[in-house]
Amino acid sequence: LRKTALPHYNISPSPKKRKAKRFWLNSSPNPSASSERPTLPNLSFPHTPPTPAVTMAAEQSAEHFRGQARLPGFAAPRRYDLRLTPDLAACTFAGSVSVSVDVAAPTRFLVVNAADLDVSPGDVHFAPKGSGQVLLPVEVTSALEDEILIIRFNEVLPLGEGTLVIAFQGTLNDKMKGFYRSVYELNGEKKNMAVTQFEPADARRCFPCWDEPSFKAVFKITLEVPCETVALSNMPVVEEKVNGPTKTVYFQESPIMSTYLVAVIVGMFDYVEAFTADGTVAPLPHYLPQVSLSLSPLGGSCWPHFPFAGTSVRVYTQVGKSAQGKFALEVAVKTLILFKEYFAVPYPLPKMDMIAIPDFASGAMENYGLVTYRETALLFDERHSAAANKQRVAVVVAHELAHQWFGNLVTMEWWTHLWLNEGFATWVSYLAADRFFPEWNVWIQFLEESTTGFRLDALAGSHPIEVDVNHVDEIDEIFDAISYRKGAAVIRMLQSYLGAEIFQKSLAAYIKRFAYSNAKTEDLWAALEEGSGEPVKTLMHSWTKQQGYPVVSVKLKDGKLELEQTQFLSSGSEGVGQWVVPITLCCCSYSVQQKFLFRGKQDDFNLSGLVECQKKDDFWIKLNVDQTGFYRVSYDEELASRLRHAVETNILSAADRYGVLDDTYALCMAGKQKLVTLLHLIAAYKNETEYTVLAHAINTSLSIYEMMAVAAPEELVNMKKFLIDFLEPFAQRVGWDAKSGEGHLNALLRGTLLSALAELGHQSTIDEAVRRFNVFLEDRETPLLPPDVRKAAYVALMQTVNKSNKSGYESLLKIYRETDLSQEKVRVLGSLASSPDPDVVREALNFLLSSEVRNQDCIFVLRGVTAAAHEVAWTWLKENWDYIAETFTGHLLTYFITVTVSPLATDEKGDEAEEFFKSRTKASIARTVKQSIERVRIKAKWVMSTKGEADLGNVLKELAHKH
């Protein structure tokens, strides 16, 4: 069927708007397009439509399909037979796809997604089932901006099933999306592997398809690859045929799934393996599976001590790194068993492969049965990985495996409901980590997720959890703290309100009801409402359909609590939102708590026992007990003073101590409370015992210090002394060296404390760090610089580096170049820009754009830029913008903007950023640009507010010299 005389066309992105290209298989001229845009029939059309419907189909034109948010619904895929042949040396691929299509309404067109692919019109045809016919298209149009291929036939297609066949060619790109190449070393030689990353909408860059989550289908995948390579896909291999230097690998047919979950990987790998146990397991609350594993490198497999073989679980790594997959393998086996019980539905695939990819834009991706990860999110080296690395691996693995149910088995209907995937996976990953590692106190650490959600959602440029998506370019930007963190936080709030058992059973019912299909947010609310008898839909609509969240102001008057809710905005403005707020409250004790729904703008509450409690010397009231609600609380002066005392005497729970500080910091930034109030509160944490709370106090303090460098540089000496005096006793207790038998959280705290002291220029910390580093430079196995304190030592070392003395900088580059451990490389990269010398920072920023740094890792250098160098980084971004915008895509590009623009703190810089991006903003970065500039305006306002605090100097002097 191939017409070789016909030209090829390339479906590729273009910076300029281009008209569609058309090709005909006959010599007739282009038929004139109708100026009218008739309404397309949808899937509800009967299989024997009336004549007018056929007439309407005949009037359709290719122009009708342009500029649409979604594909038309008159045809849908049922099964893909996909064959790919990647050329790893040439970085190209060829392929063909045969799609069983259900034509449900009259049409002369088939419309599929395709981008960056070469397709010849002669390689496209459609065969109606049972007709014996092969229909050739008379026109094939590529709408480049819409990333669609419009295939027009001369006649209306028969209703029912048919087969669409398309052959194509493409490039293994270097953008870490679609079908791309990742570079690795094997025996000192650089090699390419072929990798897919299709979420959110990049399967179309590998093969023409209906690239939307609601178009679920079955996939049968075949790969033709070099004999020596390992070929992986979603399902197990059923057959391999060797043909000289190549082999053809046939994979088992998949269950029904969305295109963004399809995965193909070709390269050289080792693996470790274990199996889940089939059969009956103990009840969930008492069950923590223990897995005994052995390791077999170079592709060998190992069996755990289970009575039955169950699901095969493998961790694939670069050759020689398989031992680093052991921890993730143990977590994965436990997690699959846990989620089988929690969701009351078995994991439906016969295998679960997890693989570490050297070049990977995201943290991980939940492809059905073949989950891809950055190396830092999957691998753990017992000698050289830090406790923070271990926790990240555990939480990320649990997150991705949660998606096998929440996302893969039950899939969102459209990207508006992305939070159903990401919010739930984030929340349930903490549930798993808490079950397996209770000593980590992860639910306290979860509050850091909530805080990230709070900060983004306090911007006027935020968006609702359920966000309208009108173009594919808008999707990447909603993989943000609203979909992940706020989504997880409102799930936790709802679970706390309904109760854990009712919530779990209702969730399991939802999974069973929508297994192998698509769901919307309303479907989840209906299941939870049915299972609980509570008005879930009414309660939750205010949290998912409008952006923002409330601050509940609390006053105590005549024995009554006066509550008022307003929308909280970091700018200090008042929004118009109103929520149904599940209030939890305790007074003087956690033994008795009160719960109620606060529905109005204002209300008074008579609380039993409040009058008697108020008479006590240690009287206090805390709303949002243990921070389970996604709202802030503002107390009147008396109640706030009482809470500060409760913090100082350690009466409040760790979660509430965290919440009091977080709310006060946010209110201070918004100009609702004075900075001196916040500083006195920080001082009250001098006896803090919980890692997460103290870490939050440290990060809050450094943020204040950064702001004051602009607002009140003359006060920095006292501010620095206050913070160092606050941190030193903690640092002396934990020291540089781990104590025998100490826990995970102490290891996390040690690195956080020492890094903060180094950033503040604490000389004895810097001297000790340099001493230990010099020993480490000569002996990488020395116990003097264990992984938990290396980043702190690197940051301290960089405090000694300047333009005329760069030996410390060069030493770090030496470590970077010699290590093959990704986590070590990230530690170095995150430290290079922490020098106080702007010239050194500029050199570090230039280094991140060099060939020595993988594109995925540039974000770590940016994150390490010191407060003194924010303007240097902004100038550098402007100078290098054209290259950056061309080289980076998706969230990697938006990260450059967020991290570089947001820290600026004057209106002049806000104006600069606005002017710079005015001509450079496109749909894929528009939201990020707007949010980043808003953050600059908020910081500028905070700076002006701080300058107006007349008593700031005296308070700082008092705090700095308090013994």
CATH of the domain at 347: 1.10.390.10
Q: Mention every residue, 6+ apart, whose C-beta is less than 8 A from residue 330.
A: 274, 291, 293
Domain boundary residue, one of 235, 266, 297: 266
Predicted local distance difference test score (pLDDT) of residue 31: 32
Q: Do 230 and 151 reside in the same domain of the chain? A: yes
Q: Do 253 and 386 reside in the same domain of the chain? A: no
| Three-state secondary structure of 43-95 | CCCCCCCCHHHHHHHHHCCHHHHCCCCCCCCCEEEEEEEEEEEEECCCCEEEE
Q: In this model, does residue 222 exceed pLDDT 60?
A: yes
Percent of the chain at pLDDT > 90 equals 83
- Rounded mean pLDDT, 829-838: 97
Which residue range is the domain that position 314 belongs to? 268-279+310-391
Q: Do 533 and 564 reside in the same domain of the chain? A: no
Q: Is residue 744 part of a domain?
A: no
**125 annotated ligand-binding residue:** no
**399 annotated ligand-binding residue:** yes
- Rounded mean pLDDT, 955-961: 93
**422 annotated ligand-binding residue:** yes
Give bridge partners of residue 182 from the DSSP assignment: 193
Q: In this model, does residue 610 exceed pLDDT 80?
A: no
For 132-156, the pLDDT digits (tens) are 899 999 999 999 999 999 999 999 9
Q: Which alpha helices (DSSP H) does 761-806 contain, by range?
A: 763-778, 787-798
Q: Is residue 684 part of a domain?
A: no
Predicted local distance difference test score (pLDDT) of residue 55: 53
Q: Do 515 and 610 reside in the same domain of the chain? A: no
Percent of the chain at pLDDT > 70 equals 90
Q: In this model, does residue 131 exceed pLDDT 70?
A: yes
Pick from 122, 121, 123: which is nearest to 94 by CA? 123
Q: Say how far residue 77 (Cα) sits from the centre of its chain.
A: 29
Q: Do 129 and 152 reside in the same domain of the chain? A: yes
Q: Which amino acid is at 327?
A: F
Q: Do 374 and 441 reside in the same domain of the chain? A: no
SS3 content of the chain, % helix, strand, coil (to 5): 45, 20, 35
The residue that leads in pLDDT, 52 or 628, is 628
Q: Which alpha helices (DSSP H) does 414-486 contain, by range?
A: 418-436, 442-457
For 696-721, the pLDDT digits (tens) are 999 999 999 999 999 999 999 999 99
Q: In this model, does residue 40 exceed pLDDT 70?
A: no
Predicted local distance difference test score (pLDDT) of residue 58: 59
Q: In this model, does residue 2 exceed pLDDT 90?
A: no
Reported as half-sphere exposure (CB side, CA atoms, 13 A), residue 169 has a value of: 11
Rounded distance between C-alpha atoms, residue 101 and residue 87, angstroms: 29
Model's pTM, two decimal places?
Answer: 0.91
> Residue 477: which pLDDT band, with cuts at 50, 70 and 90?
confident
527, 510 contact by CB (below 8 A): yes
Q: Is residue 8 part of a domain?
A: no
Which among 147, 212, 366, 400 is annotated as catalytic? 400
CATH code of the domain in which 203 resides: 2.60.40.1730
Taking the chain, what is the end-to-end CA distance rounded to the nearest angstrom? Answer: 87
Q: Is residue 931 part of a domain?
A: no
Q: Is residue 2 part of a domain?
A: no
- Rounded mean pLDDT, 68-96: 97
Predicted local distance difference test score (pLDDT) of residue 660: 98
Q: Do 446 and 352 reside in the same domain of the chain? A: no
Rounded distance between C-alpha atoms, residue 489 and residue 462, angstroms: 16
> Residue 799: which pLDDT band, with cuts at 50, 70 and 90?
very high
Q: Is residue 18 part of a domain?
A: no
**What are 26's two structure tokens?**
């006959």
**Pick from 429-433, 614-618, 678-682, 947-951: least confident:** 614-618
Q: Do 115 and 221 reside in the same domain of the chain? A: yes
Mean pLDDT across the chain: 90
CATH code of the domain in which 639 resides: 2.60.40.1910
Q: Do 566 and 524 reside in the same domain of the chain? A: no
Please provide the size of the chain in residues: 963
Do β-strands 75-87 and 218-226 pair in parallel, antiparallel, or remain unpaired? parallel
Q: Is residue 405 part of a domain?
A: no
> Residue 56: which pLDDT band, with cuts at 50, 70 and 90?
low
- Rounded mean pLDDT, 74-81: 97
**What are 574's two structure tokens?**
């008042």
Q: Do 457 and 361 reside in the same domain of the chain? A: no
Predicted local distance difference test score (pLDDT) of residue 474: 87
| Rg, Å, the chain Cα set | 29
Q: Active-site residue 400, yes or no?
A: yes
The per-residue b/e assignment along 860-875, b for 16 or more CB within 10 angstroms, e otherwise, is bbbebbbbebbebbbb
For 487-544, the pLDDT digits (tens) are 999 999 999 999 999 999 999 999 999 999 999 999 999 999 999 999 999 999 999 9
Q: In this model, does residue 629 exceed pLDDT 70?
A: yes
Q: Do 514 and 599 reside in the same domain of the chain? A: no
Domain boundary residue, one of 360, 391, 422: 391
Tokens 């981008």 -> residue: 115
Q: Do 336 and 416 reside in the same domain of the chain? A: no
Domain boundary residue, one of 232, 266, 300: 266
- Rounded mean pLDDT, 642-666: 97
Reported as half-sphere exposure (CB side, CA atoms, 13 A), residue 234 has a value of: 28
The count of structural domains within the chain is 4
Question: CA angle 48-49-54, nearest 5°?
Answer: 125
Helix (H) or strand (E) holding 267: strand 264-267
81, 94 contact by CB (below 8 A): no
Q: Is residue 465 part of a domain?
A: yes
Predicted local distance difference test score (pLDDT) of residue 277: 79
